[in-house]
Amino acid sequence: MLDIKFIRDNAELIKRNVNNRGAKVDIDELLRLDAARRELETTLDNLRAKRNRASKTKPTPDIIAEMKKIGEKIKRGEEKLADLTPKYKELLYAVPNLTHPDVRISADEDEEDNPVLETYGKPTKFKFAPLDHVQLAQNLDLIDFDRGVKVSGAKFYYLKNQAALLEMALIQYALEIATKHGYTPFITPDMAKQDILAGLGFNPRDQATQIYNIENSDLSLIGTAEITLGGYHKDEVLEEKDLPKKYVAVSHCFRTEAGSYSKFSKGIFRVHQFTKVEMFQYATPDKSETAHQEILEIEKEIFKGLGIPFRVVDHSTADLGTPAYRTFDLEAWLPGKPNKNGQMGDWAEITSASNCTDYQARGLNIKYKDKNGDKNFVHTLNGTAVAMSRTPIAIMENYQRADGSVEIPKVLRKYIPGKPKVIKRK
């Protein structure tokens, strides 16, 4: 979250930023509630101080009567404060992070409005009619959609045969590259407390939330290991000499996909459960932009190694998540994804890398102590190493062959039993 004092002192800047990012939050109402809370807190402090002074004197009937009245005023004030606080916090947590000055201002959430910064490789061309990943998976007996629906419901699935081994190979490959760059590997819980999610900028209670909440508990299923890695140092003070802290985690991810009915979702492109390898950094403020570029370069290294055509895009304001200061995506070329002209072949998000500055650290009270002993909030950054199911889609569709088989990228073969070169139907 942002510092409420900063919001007070820069109300017009915050309003412009809220408008640029298409956020729905009433800054005037937030400031009104903030002023009311501060006035109440001042009144309560004065009443408590008066009560404390009186408690140190010899009680008389007049003093006892006055203390009773003060006690009643304190009770009423605390009740008013308790009534104001939830709405105040709801509005404060809804205020998005500030925005990097180089980010394009746009009111259009269409991904095509995001500037393309660079492209690696060219869209894959075939001398035969290519299939999409659903057809390939069915022909090669790699994914069982019908039984996934039977057992768990729509947008669940079973990975089978070489697809299951391919996913595990991708995990090993991504971990090998990330750890080579100094990232400590983790396997995190798949649930987190709702105050962790809220502090990081994920609203687990909003009607349009992507979060699955666990009934009769304060737990939610995570949509990314950013949540569990981001909460790892909650309420801690780190030493500057120990920064940056670089973590990479394997976790299952769960998303409701609320409001995604109009988006491309064929097969396993948009599902309720998937596995992801996520990178996360805690950095000092002066190093966070460098850390952001480092995460992006690792993502590019991973997908260059896989030989998948991709491009790097810079999210415009309308497409930024609430905690992000700036976000870069890798978009892979998917030969089986329809484009806006109705033809086959289009770009699709396959990784994301965000600099959240001190927004998440303030929400979870994560600071560092510098060499002078001063304490400041750290900056947090996150980025996808590989996400299943989209990376396997890109592999299947770009590496398919005329006979219906799928070549396995060279960098993955050593992680698969028997080191096969091709996926064929048994």
Q: What is the pLDDT of residues 23-53, one digit of tens each?
A: 999 999 999 999 999 999 999 999 999 988 8
Average pLDDT of span 303-331: 97
Helix (H, G, I), strand (E, B) or coil at 251: strand
Of 72-81, 115-124, 207-216, 282-291, the poorest mean pLDDT is in 207-216
User: At 209, is the pLDDT very low, low, confident or very high (cuts 50, 70, 90)?
Assistant: confident
Q: Are strands 379-387 and 273-283 parallel, antiparallel or unpaired?
A: antiparallel
Of 192-196, 209-213, 242-246, 397-401, the poorest mean pLDDT is in 209-213
Average pLDDT of span 113-132: 94
Is the pLDDT assigned to residue 206 strictly greater than 80?
no
Homologous superfamily (CATH) of 4-94 is Serine-tRNA synthetase, tRNA binding domain (1.10.287.40)
User: At 108, is the pLDDT very low, low, confident or very high (cuts 50, 70, 90)?
Assistant: confident
Is the pLDDT assigned to residue 259 strictly greater than 90?
no
Please name the residue that has the structure tokens 């480092």.
294
User: At 342, is the pLDDT very low, low, confident or very high (cuts 50, 70, 90)?
Assistant: confident
DSSP secondary structure letter of residue 231: T
- pLDDT attached to residue 208: 58
| Cβ contact 141:426 at 8 Å | yes
User: At 253, is the pLDDT very low, low, confident or very high (cuts 50, 70, 90)?
Assistant: very high
- pLDDT attached to residue 210: 86
Is the pLDDT assigned to residue 191 strictly greater than 70?
yes
Q: Which two tokens stand for residue 387?
A: 């996400």
CATH 3.20.20.70 assigned to domain 111-423? The reply is no
In this structure, the number of other CB atoms found within 10 A of the CB of residue 269 comes to: 20
| Cβ contact 226:280 at 8 Å | yes
- The whole-angstrom separation of Cα 153 and Cα 214 is 18
Average pLDDT of span 375-391: 96
User: At 8, is the pLDDT very low, low, confident or very high (cuts 50, 70, 90)?
Assistant: very high
Output 20 or 259, whichever has higher pLDDT: 20
Q: What is the pTM of this model?
A: 0.92
Q: Are strands 344-355 and 273-283 parallel, antiparallel or unpaired?
A: unpaired
Sorted by where each begins, the domain ranges of the chain are: 4-94, 111-423
Average pLDDT of span 337-366: 95
Provide the annotated active-site residues: 255, 270, 349, 352, 390
